Each structure stands twice: as C-alpha cells, then as structure tokens.
Amino acid sequence: MGSDRRDLGDVMDGREHLTITRAQNTFVGWTATLLLYIVVLNLFVEYVDSIVIDSFTISIFTAFVLLLLLVAILGLEHRVGEAFARREGTAWRIGGAIATVAILFLSKFVILEVIDIVFGEHVELGGFLEVIVIVIALIVSQKAMVAVWVGLGDGSPGEEDTIPSE
C-alpha cells in the first residue's frame, strides 16, 4: 500500500502524531471529567454511610449535575476574584478574599439544595461537611487528571484550557 496509509498500530505505538481539535479536546475533557466524577461519587456512596444514591444510573446524572454546578461555581468565583483583583488597594483585596470565601462557602448549600430539588429522596449527599469533602475530592482528582494530561502532552500552550473548571 501507499505511504499515506494510516495504520492503527502506528497511532497506538506513537509513530504517528495525532492532531486534536479544540472541540475534540473539550469533548474528551468533559467526558473524562464526568467519568472521573462518577467514579469518585460512587466511591463515596460505597464507603460513606451518610451518602446514598438509589442506583448507578442516578449516580451518573448526579455526577453530571455536580459537574455543571462546579463549573458554574468555580467560574463565578474566578470572575469575582478577577473583578476585585483589577482594583487597587488593600480594601479591594480584602473584599475579594471575603467574596471568594463567601461564594465557596455558600455554594455548598446551593449544591445540596439543587441536588435535593433535582433528585429528591433518590440522592442523599449527607450534610454540609460531606459535601465539602466530596467537592474537594472531585476538584483534587480532576486537577490530578489534568496534570497527567498536560504531562503526557508535548508542552504546547493551551492543552489544559478546555478541561472543565480550568
């Protein structure tokens, strides 16, 4: 055959460079993050008695809602932080820190309420403390996944831009 033939073996063993579009990167990032959230959430269901989800299917939808909520909350926190950072002076820095902490603190109540409204008695994420631990675990595991993704890349700028919550 001609030299323009692409063999799966060439791609799998690294002999051929693949180009990933921004849309493909976004899709892979969101999909990988959602799968990661499903795993983390179900580990909590398995090992923490106060966290109960009626079925695996509901856990998938719960992970998706959590992903959307965390992307929105972290996006809001970043925008508010940037708005305060553009201002000069100690008062603005203190105000920005207070606003950031308030958003991050109050968002846990928002998460509990949204999950309760959407899933009702089918999902119980425990209390405030459990939600904080879940959110921290989701964010840390997602950051670890991004670090591995970037580490495996060729170092080109923009690789980490389209993973959710970045």
- What does the pLDDT read at residue 125? 92
- What does the pLDDT read at residue 159? 46
In the chain, the N- to C-terminal Cα span, in Å, equals 44
Side-chain-side CA neighbours of residue 56 (13 Å)? 2
Task: Please tell me the total number of residues recorded for the chain in this structure.
Answer: 166
- What does the pLDDT read at residue 91? 87
- Reading the chain (166 residues) residue by residue, the pLDDT tens digits are 444 455 555 555 555 667 778 898 889 889 999 999 999 999 999 999 999 999 999 999 999 999 999 999 989 999 998 888 888 888 888 888 899 889 988 998 999 999 999 999 999 998 889 999 999 999 999 999 989 988 887 655 554 445 554 4
- What does the pLDDT read at residue 90? 87
- Which residue type sits at 144? A
Alpha-carbon gap, residue 163 to 144, rounded angstroms:
12
Domain regions of the chain by residue span: 13-152
Alpha-carbon gap, residue 33 to 115, rounded angstroms:
19
- What does the pLDDT read at residue 166? 43
- Which residue type sits at 145? M
